[in-house]
């Protein structure tokens, strides 16, 4: 299953907002430098969804596609 994510790094909070069944907006405290925001995004979504997730598209973009493994 794939989900569309709009990432918001450096937001000062860690929160997930559901936009639709397959689209979420994720706020992250980490900066996008050195892949920190992507790593935090994967961990946070894994914890929230209780399944392992992996970014498959949009590594350098705010719009990402993740796959639930």
Average pLDDT over residues 14-29: 93
2-68: CATH class: alpha beta
Structure tokens at 54: 């992996």
Alpha-carbon dihedral of residues 46, 51, 52, 55, nearest 10 degrees?
-70
The two structure tokens encoding residue 69: 């493994």
- Average pLDDT taken over every residue of the chain: 93
Q: What is the pLDDT of residue 67?
A: 96
In this structure, the dihedral spanned by the alpha carbons of residues 31, 60, 65 and 30, taken in order and rounded to 10 degrees, is 0
Domain ranges for the chain: 2-68
């Amino acid at each position: 299953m794939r989900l569309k994510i709009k990432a918001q790094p450096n937001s000062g909070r860690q929160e997930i907002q559901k936009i639709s069944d397959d689209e979420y907006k994720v706020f992250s405290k980490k900066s996008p430098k050195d892949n920190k925001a992507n790593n935090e995004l994967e961990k946070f979504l894994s914890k929230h969804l209780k399944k392992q997730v992996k970014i498959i598209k949009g590594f350098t973009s705010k719009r990402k596609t993740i796959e639930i493994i």
